[in-house]
Amino acid sequence: MSTLFIYYSHGGKTDLVAKTLAKHLNGDLVRIHDVKKRSGFGNRLISSIDAFRETKTDILPAKVDISNYNTIYFGTPTWAGNPTPAILTIIDRCNLRGKDVILFATMDGNRGDSNIKRLEEKVKMRGARVIETFTIATKDKKPGQLVKDTEAIIEMKDLKMYKR
């Protein structure tokens, strides 16, 4: 059994964090894509409302087979202090009973902790055991700095101990 990283990324920063984690922790990656258009001012405003209301959305892939994984990471940007609709949708489609879960959120501002808190509630309702959480501030950071910040979290949180 190994580790799986399931994540949604809109602007690419969460994608870079997830890829850095998977590289250092030897895990498989599944990027969730939201079918709904989320770019542009009007769509971003609607996206924030969707995140606040926890509106489900059409995603690709529609489902992810997690049966061969013991440890699952879920990652998402922070929108209006909440997880994105895409990551909430995939969590609701997973049977997490007996799975160890690690949650991470990227954020341009603050309120990543409220995002993590809501993610934690959602995965626990699906039967998971949350073993670790963290946030990564991304505002005005270049890719190299995000990689360094992610590597620092791997060391600080001793995430390598969860590899199987």
Q: Which residues pair with 30 in a beta bridge?
A: 6
Give CA–CA dist 8/85, Å, rounded.
9
Integer Cα distance of 86 and 36 in angstroms: 9
pLDDT tens, residue by residue, 88-131: 999 999 999 999 999 999 998 766 688 899 999 999 999 999 99
For residue 1, pLDDT beyond 60? no
Q: Are 8 and 14 contacting, i.e. CB atoms less than 8 angstroms apart?
A: yes
Phi then psi dihedrals of residue 35, to 5 deg: -70, -30
Q: What whole-number distance in Å separates Cα of residue 24 and Cα of residue 151?
A: 8
Predicted TM-score of the model (pTM): 0.91
The domains found in the chain, sorted by start residue, are 2-162 (3.40.50.360)
